[in-house]
Amino acid sequence: MKQVVISGTGLYTPPFSISNEELVTCFNAYAERFNRDNAAAIASGAVSAIEASSVGFIEKASGIKSRYVMEKEGILDPARMVSRIPERGDDELSIQAEMAVAAARQALERAGRGAADIDMVLVACSNMQRAYPALAVEVQHALGIDGYGFDMNVACSSATFGIQTAVAAVKSGQARAVLVLNPEITSGHLNWRDRDSHFIFGDACTAIVVEAKETATSAHQFEIIETQLKTSFSNNIRNNFGFLNRFDEAGIGQPDKLFRQQGRKVFKDVCPMAAEMIKTTIAKAGLEVPQVSRYWLHQANLNMNLLISRMILGRDAEPLEAPVILDSYANTSSAGSIIAFHKHQDDMPAGALGVICSFGAGYSIGCVVLRKL
């Protein structure tokens, strides 16, 4: 059976950043106006007042200090609180494809590969801007890749599930090399008027080149020595937006058509699941936890990552053992663990071991054990 490597990674970071201070100023202006306009209903108990947000609340709850977005003026307008991004014509490159192409070019350069070396393009992310044609096929066309492409969605675990899908394609001989792309415009599914979640998400796109070890020439190779995937149904993270919404007009525009979660339940459920999954995947690879020097975890919440690391290691992780990027990127869904991997890999010596782990809605968990070559 062929051995498979990650030979290159890429990252597209949007041009705009929103600080917690900016976000809180906008949210509190909205809350103040809502409470003023609904003062009588609030006084009668018919409507609940909106509590003000604060920088301290956000950072204590999440560890997030800022986030990148594709457009910020619309988000920071208290009368709108949604990005202003015009629709593009059918003959123009779509915005998610544009992000993916930028990240892909960086990953291909690090891998020492060109379009002619790729046989498969996989766009794996939590939100697609359209139903069809597949974004992967659009990206394939934009990069001039001959082969095939398709989209997949496993929410925040899309990247790790995508890596496993790519590994299977390379091992079977279906593809010489696979480009896995994670274009996340999570600002699009976020309810910026919900105090409990208005700070969670940011936009970004990551790219990964997966290919056979025997033909890889990159100076940035990580051998994929084990993968493991798991799903377990839960309603604790949910988004009901879809093309069937128009069947019931009463639901159009309702809060459940955006991201929503029961945060405490998610924390309680997912932390032990993720920690156990990581330990069992390491064992499945014939390794022991002390042999692993780095954990690139899903970047959703700092408190979750601290607890998961503690459950794996039996102690608090050192900063480089479990790198954090969510302070500046926030939760970028499937891209988060790959951003951490992309930014914190080059310092590792040959032979060093690491684990990419994602976890999120579904519930879904994916683990990939890597060895630096």
95-132: pLDDT as tens digits: 999 999 999 999 999 999 999 999 999 999 999 999 99
pLDDT of residue 321: 97
Q: Tell me whether strands 222-231 and 203-212 are parallel, antiparallel or unpaired.
A: unpaired
> Which residue, 8, 101, 4, is CA-closest to 345?
8
Best CA proximity match to 333, nearest among 211, 80, 161 = 161
How large is the average pLDDT for residues 292-309?
Answer: 97
Q: Are strands 4-12 and 120-124 parallel, antiparallel or unpaired?
A: unpaired
The vertex-83 CA angle with 82 and 89, nearest 5°, equals: 125
Q: Is the pLDDT of residue 344 over 80?
A: yes
Query: Given this model, what pLDDT does residue 96 score?
Result: 98
User: Which runs of E-coded beta strand occur in 20-94?
Assistant: 66-69
| Angle, alpha carbons 175-181-182 (nearest 5°) | 150
From first CA to last CA, the distance across the chain in angstroms is 19
242-254 pLDDT, tens digit per residue, is 999 999 999 999 9
Which amino acid is present at 107?
A
| pLDDT at res. 155 | 96
- Which DSSP state fits 331? B
User: Rounded to whole angstroms, how far apart are CA atoms 354 and 295?
Assistant: 6
φ, ψ for residue 132, nearest 5 deg: -165, 155
Q: Residue 77: what are its φ and ψ, rounded to 5°?
A: -90, 110
pLDDT of 303 strictly over 80: yes
Query: Is the pLDDT confidence value at 45 over 80?
Result: yes
CA distance 53 to 28: 6
Is residue 37 pLDDT above 90, yes or no?
Answer: yes
Per-residue pLDDT at 25: 98
Structural tokens at position 169: 């394609």
- For the annotated catalytic residues, the residue numbers are 156
Instruction: Return the pLDDT at 59.
Output: 97
**7 phi/psi in degrees, rounded to 5:** -105, -10
* Angle, vertex CA 362, rays to CA 355 and CA 104, nearest 5: 55
Rounded to an integer, what distance in angstroms lies between the CA atom of residue 348 and that of residue 369?
Answer: 14
CB of 40 closer than 8 Å to CB of 60: no
Residue 145, phi-psi category: left (phi > 0), alpha (psi -120 to 50), beta (remainder): beta
Record the tokens describing residue 166, joined without a space.
Answer: 């790519």
* Mean pLDDT for the stretch of residues 220-237: 97
Q: What is the C-alpha separation between 373 and 221, in angstroms, rounded? A: 6
Looking at residues 144-171, what average pLDDT do you find? Answer: 98
Beta strands (DSSP E) in 284-334 are 292-297
When the pLDDT of each residue in the chain is averaged and rounded to a whole number, the result is 97
The per-residue pLDDT for 1 is 74
**Pairing relationship of beta strands 16-19 and 4-12 according to DSSP bridges:** unpaired
Going by C-alpha positions, the residue among 344, 118, 126 that lies closest to residue 241 is 126
> pLDDT tens, 175-201?
999 999 999 999 999 999 999 999 999
- List pLDDT tens digits, range 81-91: 999 999 999 99
- pLDDT score of 373: 98
Residue 68 near residue 17 (C-beta atoms within 8 A): yes
